[in-house]
Structure formats: structure tokens, C-alpha cells
Chain A
Amino acid sequence: MDIDDILASVDHGPGASPESTSLDHQSLTRFWVSERAVSEVLPWPTALMDRMMDRVRMQIESIEDIAASSADAPPPTTHNQNANANHNPNLNLRLSILQTDLARTQYIIRSLLRTRLAKLTKYSMHYLVKLSSTNQILSQSQSQSQSQSQPTPEDSVPDISAIASFDPLSESEASFVHAHQKLLASHYSGSFMGAFPRQLRRLDDNAGGTSMIQGPETREVVFVRCLGAAVPVLVVGEGDQEEDIGVTMRMGDVWVVRWEGVKAAWLKGEVELL
């Protein structure tokens, strides 16, 4: 038991009330649908996911308890088993309801994590560069100086060991994507890139003004429902700068719009992705 466990148990106080259970469930469902709907990785809701994982763990324990008590209670004779069944006829029903509910939640969490993993492996370099550029310039300049002396594809993988914030990833996702890209880079270097001229060995080349790192397409359209009273669709220019305001969505409306135009409103919870 370390300090994190104690903090987690304190955090559990308000999280244990029934309203917040269903609210968390609704938020998780909505986040899952959103994550499936867009091509970029959405900011990881750390607090929400911690609470959900805790609840799942506790639910598994309580299901095991109920199952164990039903298995222990009846002595071996069939006569007594019937008596026990009469005593608590709903036990199997309760168990199957609890298990169905658990399986449904686990399905959402699994699908959510796998969607994120798929996006991360697809755009691993993009997210690594994003992580290191938002956090520290220091680590990048280090890797740059190394790469000049001895260029290998591995050197173009940004070092994320010193960063403090993993936004938009979770900590384990960040370490996964780093390990993934390291492996990929060493595979490339071993299989073909080692034979290339030195200046062609980097994986983050942007010679000729075109970066070779591919990122997710934020201009793809999404289906949204407007939940706030009125939400304008923004016109986003180069470099994520908000340039202008386009059409305005009213409450309850469903629109097909560009994701970049409603992302800010989504972060505030004023639109929902469908």
C-alpha cells in the first residue's frame, strides 16, 4: 500500500454515491462513442478511468463473493441443495444480471483502449513528437546532438523519459508508444535503413517543407448533437488558429460538421459526438 492507494481510497468517497456511478457510466459511454468517432486520440480522462477501473475491480470481487457463498452454502446432498435454492431463488438471476452488467462495461473499456492503441500505433511518431514538443525542449536538443554524431533511425524517436505531462495520452500509453516506436525504428534500421546514406536515416525528416510524420486528419467530418443552448462552428485555419465563426448549431440539433470546428465545444461538453 503506497500513497497512491490511500489517495485513491480518499477519492472514492464522493465517487461511491449512486448518482456519480450512473453519471460516470454515462460519461464513459459518451467518451467511448467519441473516441470511436474521430481519428485523433482524445485527452485521456484520468480521474474517470481510475474510478471506473476501481468499480470494475470491486464488482468482480463482489461477484466472486456471491458465487463463493452460493457454492459453499449447500452441503453435498441434493435435498439440501433444493432447500437452498428455495431459500434464495434469485441468486442465479442476480449473478447473471451482475455478470452481464460487468461484461457490458468491460466491453466498452476494452473497445475504448483498443481504439486508442490502433490510433497510437498508426500515428506513433506524431504523438511522440507532440509529447516531447509540448513538454520539454531540452530532451529534444539532446537527441538532436546525439543524432548528428551517429545517425540511426532510433535517434529520431523523441526521448520521453523526462516529461511531466502525458496529455493527451495516459502514462502507460505513452510508454507503450515509445517502446513501440523504438522497436519499429531498430527493425527498420536492421532490415533496410542501415544501408541508406547517413542523411536519409531519420524517421522525422521534413526536407522540402513536407514532414514525413503523418498525423490524424482533423478536418474529417463527424456527426454531432448540440447540447448547449447555441454552439458556433469555428473555422480553423493553419496551425489550429481559430479564424472565424461559421454556422451556429442550436440545442438538440444534429449536424454533420468538421471535427476541428467543434473540438473546442466538445472539450467543454457542449456537443456530443454520435
Chain B
Amino acid sequence: MAFPLPRGITPSEIGFLAEMEMVTVVPRQRLEGLELLGGPIEPLVPPRRASLPLWLALLLKRQRRANIMPPSWLHPEPLNLILEVESQHPDYRDAFSPPPPLPGQPSIRDDGLAPTARPQYTPDGNRYYASPPFLPQNTAQTEGFSSRDPPALPFHWVEMGNMLLESASDDLVEPDQIRRLLKDLREVRLAKMRAGTDVLDAAATGGGGVALTGVGAMEVGEERGFLTGVVDNLRKIGASKEQARREQMAEQRANGGYDGAQDEEEEDYMEF
């Protein structure tokens, strides 16, 4: 067997991805800059702060060569705030709390502004939009995001929280309280994920989908097998219905009428 793992990255690989997130460290010793395959590393000069990928920060932390500054969201107050939104706010009763905005995306406060995606260009001339884990969502001061943005859980919050609690709990503010808050958050969000299985039928139709905005990487990883299994089976059950609908649409098109198809699409749109 060339490759035994199932479709979709596994939880340990999600952890591997989370280790590419940049964190802020305070070095305890000098280290010259390095040219890594993942990009250059800035020289470490104590006590100046530096941004390093998490795997390197943890490597230095274990050897007591650096301290990790906790990400701006990994403090008791912001976590409390997010937990409140997640469990009490009427708008987010069935949805996850909003994720940190992507570059160019208007923050939740100035709603109504049109998003302007700002692509970079790869050496091959393709457009490239940065996304987690390659955005500074876990640095101590989140540069690039204005400070008036409400706190938000980054994409890799479960892994980041767990890894920092495990290896760098002495760098965190009140680690026990953080651990408790993270556990509460996980339970609240897991319940939402489970409640959302009711609307999965929408994802089983062509052109339809189910929104999971704000979901975390590990939460996707946990639910992937179950969710894709359910949706694929729903798709197979509804295959003949879809075929009939397609034929009906083709007939309508032949008659020059489009109207019937439009209404059905409205029904496909469902918020999780």
C-alpha cells in the first residue's frame, strides 16, 4: 500500500500544520539568522522580541533558550469574552464566533464594507492569498489587525492552546484558568457542531453547502470522517432525485424558462 491514511489530513498532521504558526518569543541567548526551507529566520538578540514558527519556539523553549509570549487571545479575559459570545450571544446560538479577519477582510465592527482580497503573486505568476497557519494570528501583539478588533479564536486554537499549555505553561498568565476556559469553549462548540448535523442535507445537493465559518482546524479534523460519510450517503440516497431535477431543468432550459430552478436554490442556503 502506497499510502494507508484516509482522505483528509489526520489530527496529528493538523498539529504539524499548527506548528507552522508564528509566535512571539523573547530569546535568552543570541542566535544568528538562519535560512530555512520554510523561509528565513531573523537573528535572535536578547531581550528583543522575535517572531518564530511554533515548532522552533518550542524547540528553544524546551532547551530553556527562549520564553514564549502567549498569543493575544490566549489570556483569561479574551477567552472569557469569546466564551460569553459563544454561549450567550443571540446571533451565535447556532454558529461559531467569528474568526479573526483575513488580510483585506473588513472586521466584524465595520460590517457592510466590501472585502478586498489582496493577493500576492507566486514565482509562477499565480495568485496567492495568505491564510492560516501563515498569518500572524498567534503573535503577542497582533500586528496587521487593529487593536479595536474584538478577540477571536484563530483557526488553530485547539492545537496552539494545548501545545502551549503542555510545554510553556510557565509563560502563560493563569494557565489553570486558561485550561478550564479552553475546555469550556471546546464543549460549547462541539455541541454546536453536533446540532448542525440536521442541515447536512444542503451539502449533499449540487451547488449547495453548509457554512461552518469560524470552525477550528482540529474541529474540522474531528468531524471530517463523520460529516463526509453522512453527506456522501445522503448524496447517494438523493442521486435519483437529483437526476430527475437535472432532467427537469434541462427541459425547462429547452423551453426557455429558468424560473423554477431559481427558487430551489434559495432553499439550499442554510446557516449552520
Contact surface of B with A, Cβ cutoff 8 Å: 1-3, 5, 7-9, 13, 16-17, 20, 29-32, 34-41, 55-56, 59, 63, 65, 99, 101-102, 104-105, 114-117, 119-120, 122-124, 126-131, 134, 200, 203-204, 206-215, 217, 220, 224, 227-228, 231-232, 235, 246, 249, 261, 265, 268-269
Contact = CB atoms under 8 A, between A and B. Distances in A.
A59 interface: yes
A22 B128 contact: no
A253 to B, nearest CB: 5
B2 A38 contact: no
A256 B39 contact: no
A37 B209 contact: no
Given A97-B59, A252-B213, A223 B9 contact: no
A252 B105 contact: yes
A115 interface: yes
A247 B208 contact: yes
Given A23-B123, A104-B38, A221 B117 contact: no
11 contacts: A18-B39, A36-B13, A90-B32, A219-B235, A220-B232, A225-B131, A227-B117, A229-B115, A237-B206, A249-B209, A270-B129
Contacts of A268: 127
A204 interface: no
Between A37, A96, A100, A221, the greatest number of chain B beta carbons within 10 A of the residue's beta carbon is seen for: A221
Given A48-B124, A115-B3, A253-B211, 11 more contacts: A22-B134, A55-B37, A94-B32, A101-B37, A219-B235, A220-B232, A221-B232, A227-B117, A246-B208, A257-B208, A269-B129
Contacts of B117: 227-229, 251
B37 A97 contact: no
B34 A94 contact: yes
Contact of A254 (B32, B211, B269): B211
Between A30, A51, A111, A247, the greatest number of chain B beta carbons within 10 A of the residue's beta carbon is seen for: A247
B123 A253 contact: no
Contacts of A38: 7
A264 B5 CA distance: 26
A200 interface: no
Nearest to B39: A22
A167 to B, nearest CB: 15
A18 B231 contact: no
Contact of B212 (A39, A223, A270): A223
A13 to B, nearest CB: 10
A255 B209 contact: yes
B214 A254 contact: yes
A37 B14 CA distance: 12
A193 to B, nearest CB: 24
Given A243-B249, A270-B129, A21 B39 contact: yes
Interface in A121-175: 121
A233 B207 contact: yes
Interface of A: 14-15, 18, 20-27, 29-30, 33, 36-39, 45, 47-48, 51-52, 55-56, 59, 90, 93-94, 96-98, 100-102, 104-105, 107, 111, 114-115, 117-118, 121, 217, 219-221, 223, 225, 227-229, 233-238, 243-247, 249-258, 260-261, 268-270, 272, 274
A246 B2 contact: no
A145 to B, nearest CB: 34
B37 to A, nearest CB: 4
A146 B13 CA distance: 48
A229 B3 CA distance: 36
Nearest to A93: B31
A204 to B, nearest CB: 23
Contacts of A117: 2-3
B187 to A, nearest CB: 20
A247 B63 CA distance: 50
Contacts of B227: 221, 256
B269 A247 contact: yes
B129 A114 contact: no
Contacts of B20: 29
Given A18-B39, A100-B55, A221 B231 contact: yes
A222 to B, nearest CB: 8
4 tightest A-B CB contacts, nearest first = A246-B207, A22-B39, A235-B207, A118-B3
Contacts of A94: 31-32, 34
Given A236-B206, A252-B105, A37 B123 contact: no
Contacts of B102: 227, 251-252
Given A55-B37, A256-B210, A258-B203, A244 B128 contact: no
A51 B123 contact: yes
